[in-house]
Structure formats: structure tokens, C-alpha cells
């Protein structure tokens, strides 16, 4: 398939993931991570929490980079993998919000992950349409 055309859906999703990383680090960090780190929790619990917090920030940056790369080179399987992780994030925020808090609104991050998922799906549909247009149908 001709990969000289930018897949705008993948590129926008990549940008949204990089923005998510910045929001996570600079807004969520002081709001969530800092209080955990300043708490009286066991040092091991605080250390694991810090690793998980920063790993998610890194993951969002990596996902953004992967989607930017896919925007120019294609990589349907890569995009599907990122989408699957994103859908898992949505499910976790919704399920834990309902079970632990009785509502999904104190943790509205699922809305952002839903938006990113929608844009990725748009990119996947664009990719599929390009394949059909060239007559090179693949699974």
C-alpha cells in the first residue's frame, strides 16, 4: 500500500497521547502522585506507586510516538494493540469508578481515552478504505 499519505486519525491520536502524558505529569502528578508520595504509606507502597505513575506517563509518550510513526508508515497491528490497551483503560476507569466510588465522574479520564480510541478507529477505517481503494484487500 502507498504510505506516502499521512493517516490523520493516527497522527491526531498520537498528539492526544502526548498531550495526555503532559496532563498526567503536570496536572495529575501534583493532584494524585504527590499526595501519595507525601503520605504515611509504607515506603515500598510509595515506591511502587511512583514506578507505576511514571511508567504510565512513559507509556503515553511511547503510544504517541508509535501512533505518529504509524501515521506515516502504517502498522495496523500496532494501532490495534494500542487501541486494545486504551479500551482496557476505559474499562478500568468505568468499573473501578462504579465499584469503588459509586459513579464514573470523579475519574473522568475514561472520556479522554474514549476520544483517543474514537480517533484511532477513524484512522483504522481510513486505512481500510485506502486498502480497498487500491484493490489490495488484506485481513
Q: What is the pTM of this model?
A: 0.88
137 vs 1, 6, 67, 132, CA distance in Å? 10, 19, 22, 6
How high is the pLDDT of residue 71? 97
Residue 120 near residue 9 (C-beta atoms within 8 A): yes
Q: Does position 69 have pLDDT exceeding 60, yes or no?
A: yes
pLDDT in tens, 13-68: 999 999 999 999 999 999 999 999 999 999 999 999 999 999 999 999 999 999 99
* Torsion (CA) 91, 62, 13, 104 in degrees, nearest 10: 20
More confident residue, 135 or 67: 67
Residue 1 pLDDT grade (very low, low, confident, very high; cuts 50, 70, 90): very low
pLDDT in tens, 80-129: 999 999 999 999 999 999 999 999 999 999 999 999 999 999 999 998 87
Amino acid at each position: 500500500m502507498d504510505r506516502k499519505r499521512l493517516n490523520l486519525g493516527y497522527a491526531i491520536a498520537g498528539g492526544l497521547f502526548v498531550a495526555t502524558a503532559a496532563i498526567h505529569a503536570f496536572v495529575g502528578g501534583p493532584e494524585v502522585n504527590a499526595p501519595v508520595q507525601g503520605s504515611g504509606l509504607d515506603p515500598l507502597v510509595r515506591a511502587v506507586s511512583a514506578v507505576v505513575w511514571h511508567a504510565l506517563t512513559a507509556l503515553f509518550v511511547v503510544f504517541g510516538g508509535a501512533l505518529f510513526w504509524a501515521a506515516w508508515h502504517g502498522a495496523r497491528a500496532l494501532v490495534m494493540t494500542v487501541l486494545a490497551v486504551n479500551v482496557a483503560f476505559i474499562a478500568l476507569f468505568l468499573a473501578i469508578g462504579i465499584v469503588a466510588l459509586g459513579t464514573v465522574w470523579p475519574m473522568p479520564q475514561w472520556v479522554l481515552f474514549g476520544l483517543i480510541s474514537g480517533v484511532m478507529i477513524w484512522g483504522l477505517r481510513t486505512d481500510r478504505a485506502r486498502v480497498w481503494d487500491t484493490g489490495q484487500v488484506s485481513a
